[in-house]
Amino acid sequence: MKIKWSDIRTKSNMLSTFRVFLVIPIIFLILNFNEAYSYRVYAVLLMVLGVITDLLDGYLARKYNEITEFGKIIDPFADKVNIVAIIILLYYMDELPAYYFWVIILRDVIIFTGGIIVSNIVGKVLPSNLLGKITVLSIGFFIIATVLDLRSITWLYESLKYLSLVLSVGSVIGYAIRGVELVKWKKNETV
């Protein structure tokens, strides 16, 4: 797989790259959110900006026919960098339970590792699927609820937490099934 400089400079890929660096001010705000509640709000606003750029980059790539191999890598990478960095930070600040931390981290490690293995076998980068995108969105909603300290709204907080956990496990299973099917297809194609 060869990535061209022109692929990196598309509107959609520039937005995804921006999203990777957006995690820096978010981390700063989270590290300091006990100083003022406004830091929590600013962190969430930047997270929402990240979600908007995530939606926009896919739309722009499809609209302008700028779907690239680099885009298939940088878009999920930006999601993972943001989610993993924020999850690790919140866990070490005692804002998240250990089981939540481990489920999300293991999900990303398994999907990332499996994606590399399958991509090497079939010869192309696998784009994320709808279940994966919904899972990332649900994790994002739970992170926002955590950053805004919405634990007092127990039904909402717990619902978001368990929904994102169930979807995380489901997305690993979905990606595993898809990966096995692609590898079988590739082996049948070469026979």
Number of domains forming the structure of the chain: 1
Among 43-52, 82-91, 112-121, the least confident range:
112-121
Cα(104)–Cα(106) distance, integer angstroms: 6
CA 35 to chain CA mean position, Å = 28
> Which amino acid would we find at residue 47?
M
**For the domain that residue 167 is a member of, what is the CATH number?**
1.20.120.1760
Mean pLDDT score, 157-164? 98
**Other Cβ atoms within 10 Å of 95 Cβ, number:** 19
pTM to 2 decimals?
0.86
Q: Is 99 in a helix, a strand, or coil?
A: helix
- Neighbouring residues of 167: CB distance < 8 A, sequence distance ≥ 6: 131, 134, 135, 138, 139
Secondary structure (3-state) at 129: coil
Helices (H), 64-153: 69-92, 98-122, 130-147
CA 124 to chain centre: 20
The region of weakest confidence among 2-11, 35-44, 180-189 is 2-11
Overall average pLDDT of the 40-57 stretch? 94
Question: Rounded to whole angstroms, how far apart are CA atoms 41 and 19?
Answer: 18
If you average pLDDT over every residue of the chain, what do you get? 90
| pLDDT tens by residue, 33-43 | 989 999 999 99
pLDDT value at residue 61: 86
pLDDT confidence of residue 1 = 54
Gap between the Cα atoms of 97 and 87, Å rounded? 10
The mean per-residue pLDDT over the stretch 106-132 comes to 88
Whether the Cβ atoms of residue 97 and residue 142 lie closer than 8 Å to each other:
no
Residue 47 above 60 pLDDT? yes
Question: What is the rounded distance in angstroms from the CA atom of residue 4 to the CA atom of residue 103?
Answer: 35
* Domain carrying residue 53: 5-190
pLDDT at 73: 83
DSSP state of 32: T
pLDDT reported for residue 173: 96
